[in-house]
């Protein structure tokens, strides 16, 4: 019953906030000109940066960011997919390399 109650409370909150966003979005004219797109980017950066604890994680994030910028012009947002894939590959390769105990590069 505890989890059901928690789930229902979160679901109702989600619905109310979604409804409030729909109403607010329709009530404010030309909201796209406010430049609020950056708020999502800033939130994502604020979530990711504190989680970067070691050099392989930092390298993966930096490579993904560079590839995302370099491939921004690709159609169908393929640049985002290329960035995610390259970040994952770099992260996995560096984590495997750092699994050996004598790697000073990884701290």
Kindly report, residue by residue over 2-31, the tens digit of the pLDDT. Answer: 999 999 999 999 999 999 999 988 888 887
Q: Which domain holds residue 29?
A: 1-34
Alpha-carbon separation of residue 102 from 56, 76, 92, 106, 107 (angstroms): 15, 43, 18, 9, 11
Q: How many domains does the chain have?
A: 2
The verdict on pTM exceeding 0.75 is no
Q: Are residues 47 and 96 in the same domain?
A: yes
> How far apart, in whole angstroms, are the C-alpha atoms of residue 17 and residue 63?
35
Q: Residue 88 has what pLDDT?
A: 97
Identify whether residues 48 and 7 lie together within a single domain: no
Which band of pLDDT confidence, cut at 50, 70 and 90, is reported for residue 105? Answer: low
Is 52 found in the same domain as 24? no
Note whether 86 and 52 are same-domain residues.
Answer: yes
54 and 102 belong to one structural domain: yes
H or E element in which residue 77 lies? none
Please tell me whether residues 40 and 9 are part of one structural domain.
Answer: no
């Amino acid at each position: 019953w505890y989890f059901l109650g928690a789930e229902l409370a979160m679901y109702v909150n989600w619905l109310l906030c979604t409804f409030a966003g729909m109403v607010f979005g329709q009530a404010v004219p030309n909201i796209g000109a406010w430049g609020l797109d950056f708020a999502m980017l800033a939130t994502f950066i604020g979530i990711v940066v504190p989680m970067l604890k070691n050099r392989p994680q930092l390298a993966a994030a930096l490579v993904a960011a560079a590839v995302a910028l370099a491939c921004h012009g690709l159609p169908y947002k393929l640049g985002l997919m290329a960035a995610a894939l390259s970040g994952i590959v770099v992260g996995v390769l560096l984590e495997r390399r750092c699994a050996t105990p004598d790697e000073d590069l990884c701290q």
